[in-house]
């Protein structure tokens, strides 16, 4: 669907007000020695990948309520991811999950993605569920399973994912496993971690030139007593053990409530192993709610650590930003669009932090003023900057309104229910 006519009517309707708000914010920022044009350029250059699995309606163990026009296959998913990029201008990369997105013809998929203005940046393996006809079950684990034959099967799957990813032009392989136990005594903690590491060494050895391996820690679920890669410390140890191309991936929802995730981020930056993010939000557990919807200040504080590391030119600092959300009750395209913009917003707000002033407050132990410096950035409504970056990039000023006006969802429902 060509969204252009809806972008044009959006601009006709909203550009005058945007220019006014942008001019006004520009004056405000100039008083803070901030050049709004430089800030808008940073906003336009921001990038966050979308998960292919995020455009289908997600669910919980209590049910799934599919919406109209559900993607039927990876091609529909790519088309929907293309709409998110057409609306935001900041999501040209897609993260795929294998076997959910295993392409019959990788080059055809690569071409379709390119036709939607997208590229495949990462592939995710899946040894947390059994596939039809799979010789050995992952019921009691995969890369850390006690049975060498199951581990070998899981290693082979990861190597296959890397092979598919290479054909798709990806350069990141992301590994999350559900391995763990539900009972005290069920899993020998040290032996299991050693088996996990031994399996990952074989996956690491299969990485093509220029690739990065991401390992993703998670406190619990689907195992509810112990998890093999349960926290950032264990992940850091494993990434170091594996080698220079292994990196820690931080999924915001994979921590206990009230854990200070921004400090974990600062540690992994300092230790040179922060590889990437799965942005989302949560109130209790791994709720995978929309990024910025529950704890926007935490999201800002995380991006603040990232922008600070950028300022300090921390060696090897090249984090890969991705969303990881399933969307149980919203139109996935709307949720991904808003979430991408919320991460972009936090990045732009963090870019507004007066770092010399903050450094000075920190050195002279002035907590009130230090927080005030951070809050000034967080409380600055940068919406005109985000909207102007979109408008100048030929995207809508109000993406959700433009999307709804386009009738894309109804058209997709009609097209996808026909076949």
Binding site for ligand LRH (CB under 6 A): 53, 124, 176, 216, 218, 251, 278, 286, 324
For residue 215, the minimal CB distance to Mn ion (Å) is: 11
- Residue 100 CB partners (closer than 8 Å, separation 6+): 52, 53, 74, 126
- Of 58 and 308, nearer to ligand LRH (C-beta) is 58
- Of 122 and 402, nearer to Mn ion (C-beta) is 122
Q: Say if residues 81 and 52 touch (Cβ distance below 8 Å).
A: yes
State the binding partner of 124 from ligand LRH, Mn ion, none, CB within 5 to 8 A by kind. ligand LRH
State the binding partner of 217 from ligand LRH, Mn ion, none, CB within 5 to 8 A by kind. none
Handedness of CA 290, 214, 273, 344 (dihedral sign): negative
10 Å CB burial of residue 4 (0-12, 13-18, 19+) is exposed
- Of 289 and 353, nearer to Mn ion (C-beta) is 289
For residue 284, the minimal CB distance to Mn ion (Å) is: 17
For Mn ion, the binding residue among 251, 281, 305, 342 (CB under 5 A) is: 251
Site string for Mn ion, 265-294 (x = CB under 5 A): -------------x----------------
Q: Judged by CB under 5 A, which stretch of 116-124, 243-251, 256-264, 289-297 contacts Mn ion?
A: 243-251
Cis peptide leading into 197, omega within 30 of 0?
A: no
- Of 151 and 278, nearer to Mn ion (C-beta) is 278
For residue 51, the minimal CB distance to ligand LRH (Å) is: 7
- Of 42 and 278, nearer to Mn ion (C-beta) is 278
Of 196, 201, 149, the closest CA to residue 177 belongs to 196
For residue 315, the minimal CB distance to Mn ion (Å) is: 26
Cα gap 95→76, rounded to integer Å: 14
State the binding partner of 334 from Mn ion, ligand LRH, none, CB within 5 to 8 A by kind. none
Residues that contact Mn ion, how many (by CB under 5 A): 3
- Of 28 and 60, nearer to Mn ion (C-beta) is 60
For Mn ion, the binding residue among 10, 324, 331, 334 (CB under 5 A) is: 324
Cα gap 302→378, rounded to integer Å: 12
State the binding partner of 286 from Mn ion, ligand LRH, none, CB within 5 to 8 A by kind. ligand LRH
Q: Say if residues 178 and 144 touch (Cβ distance below 8 Å).
A: no
For residue 2, the minimal CB distance to ligand LRH (Å) is: 32
- Of 217 and 345, nearer to Mn ion (C-beta) is 217
Enumerate the β-bridge partners of residue 96.
Answer: 123
For residue 214, the minimal CB distance to ligand LRH (Å) is: 9
Instruction: Name the residue number minimizing CB distance to ligand LRH.
Output: 176
- Of 280 and 406, nearer to Mn ion (C-beta) is 280
- Of 217 and 390, nearer to ligand LRH (C-beta) is 217
For residue 288, the minimal CB distance to Mn ion (Å) is: 8
CA atoms in the 13 A half-sphere facing the CB of 203: 36
For residue 128, the minimal CB distance to ligand LRH (Å) is: 7
For residue 183, the minimal CB distance to Mn ion (Å) is: 25
- Of 236 and 279, nearer to Mn ion (C-beta) is 279
For residue 363, the minimal CB distance to ligand LRH (Å) is: 38
State the binding partner of 360 from ligand LRH, Mn ion, none, CB within 5 to 8 A by kind. none
Q: Judged by CB under 5 A, which stretch of 180-188, 323-331, 334-342, 389-397 contacts Mn ion?
A: 323-331
Q: Judged by CB under 5 A, which stretch of 207-215, 319-327, 357-365, 407-415 contacts Mn ion?
A: 319-327
Which residues contribute to the site for Mn ion (CB under 5 A)?
Answer: 251, 278, 324
């Amino acid at each position: 669907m060509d969204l252009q006519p809806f972008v044009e009517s959006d601009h006709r309707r909203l550009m005058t007000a945007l220019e006014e708000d942008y001019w006004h914010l520009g004056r405000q920022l100039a008083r803070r020695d901030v050049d709004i044009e430089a800030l808008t350029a940073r906003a336009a250059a921001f990038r966050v990948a979308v998960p292919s699995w995020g455009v289908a309606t997600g669910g919980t163990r209590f049910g799934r309520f599919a919406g109209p026009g559900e993607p039927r296959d990876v091609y529909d998913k790519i088309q929907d991811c293309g709409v998110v990029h057409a609306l935001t201008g900041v999501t040209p990369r897609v993260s795929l999950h294998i076997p959910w997105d295993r392409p019959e013809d990788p080059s055809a998929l690569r071409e379709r993605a390119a036709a939607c203005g997208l590229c495949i940046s990462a592939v995710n393996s899946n040894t947390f569920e059994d596939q039809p006809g799979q010789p050995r079950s992952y019921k009691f684990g995969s890369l850390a399973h006690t049975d060498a034959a199951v581990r070998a099967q899981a290693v082979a799957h990861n190597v296959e994912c890397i092979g598919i990813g290479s054909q798709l032009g990806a350069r990141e392989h992301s590994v999350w496993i559900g391995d763990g136990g539900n009972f005290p005594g069920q899993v020998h903690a040290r032996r299991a971690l050693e088996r996990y590491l031994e399996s990952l060494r074989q996956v690491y050895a299969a990485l093509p030139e220029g690739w990065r391996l991401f390992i993703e820690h998670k406190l619990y679920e689907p195992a509810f007593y112990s998890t093999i890669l349960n926290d950032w410390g264990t992940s850091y140890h494993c990434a170091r053990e594996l080698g220079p191309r292994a990196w820690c991936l931080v999924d915001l929802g994979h921590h206990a409530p009230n854990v200070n995730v921004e400090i974990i981020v600062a540690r992994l930056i300092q230790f040179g192993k922060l590889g990437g993010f799965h942005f989302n939000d949560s109130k209790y557990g791994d709720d995978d709610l929309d990024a910025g919807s529950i704890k926007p200040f935490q999201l800002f504080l995380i991006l603040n650590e990232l922008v600070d590391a950028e300022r300090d030119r921390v060696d090897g600092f090249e984090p890969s930003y991705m969303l990881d959300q399933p969307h149980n009750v919203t139109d996935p395209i709307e949720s991904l669009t808003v979430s991408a913009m919320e991460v972009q917003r936090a990045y732009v707000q963090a870019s507004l932090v007066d770092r010399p002033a903050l450094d000075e407050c920190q050195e002279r132990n002035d907590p009130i003023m230090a927080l005030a410096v951070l809050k000034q950035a967080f409380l600055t409504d940068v919406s005109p900057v985000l909207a102007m970056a979109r408008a100048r990039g030929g995207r809508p000023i109000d993406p959700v309104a433009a999307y709804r006006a386009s009738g894309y969802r109804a058209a997709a429902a009609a097209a996808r229910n026909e076949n």
